[in-house]
Amino acid sequence: MNDIEFLRRISLMLHADDSRLPNLAEMERQEELIFVPFGGGHVRAWAERLGPLARPEFHLYDHELPPETELRRKAANAVNERPRCQAVLTQKRCLENYLHPDAIFAASGIHIKFDDFDCVAELTARELYRKRPGEIAWQLQARRSQSRMANRSKRWLNTKAARQMTPAMLGEQDRGAEIISWMLAINELLAS
């Protein structure tokens, strides 16, 4: 669901800047498309599941880290073998890695630095936790508590921080215009 929130907000921002790019949230409201989250489940199962509907499909898989990357790459290849279907694997670990640090700062007041394969949600959760007075060290927190805090951070990164993004910020974080290429692919699939 977090990726869907990201895509809704980023597509709105991109559409406002370039009307040729789709506003996915509006298209969803108009019932022109539907998001189907698979929630980190068995990605290969989703590569074929919607095939019997014979509808255009666009699959977006986070790159993640090995060995998960190879499983996702195989699933994308399976989708790409079907007509009117396209799957892509992000070049970065996940969608949060496309957020600009300035957008994160605007949404939270914290500064974080990260690269393409850092877990942005965990780094953000750590920094937010560090700012809370009187708490025990992050490293002493139970892994389950750390995971819950990272999941909460992931949610607002994909909503509040994504809402702070501008085309210029996205251009800095996505120098290859990868996200724009996804939007163009979605347009093309919807037109087929």
> Beta partners for 46?
none
What is the per-residue pLDDT for 125? 95
Residues 6+ apart with CB under 8 A from 52: none
Average pLDDT value over all residues in the chain: 94
Q: Are 153 and 125 in contact (CB under 8 A)?
A: yes
Instruction: Express each pLDDT in 64-116 by its tens digit.
Output: 999 999 999 999 999 999 999 999 999 999 999 999 999 999 999 999 999 99
Mean pLDDT by 10 residues, the chain (192 residues): 96 97 96 86 84 94 93 95 96 98 96 97 94 82 93 96 98 97 96 85
State the virtual CA torsion across 111, 8, 1, 113 in degrees, nearest 10.
-20
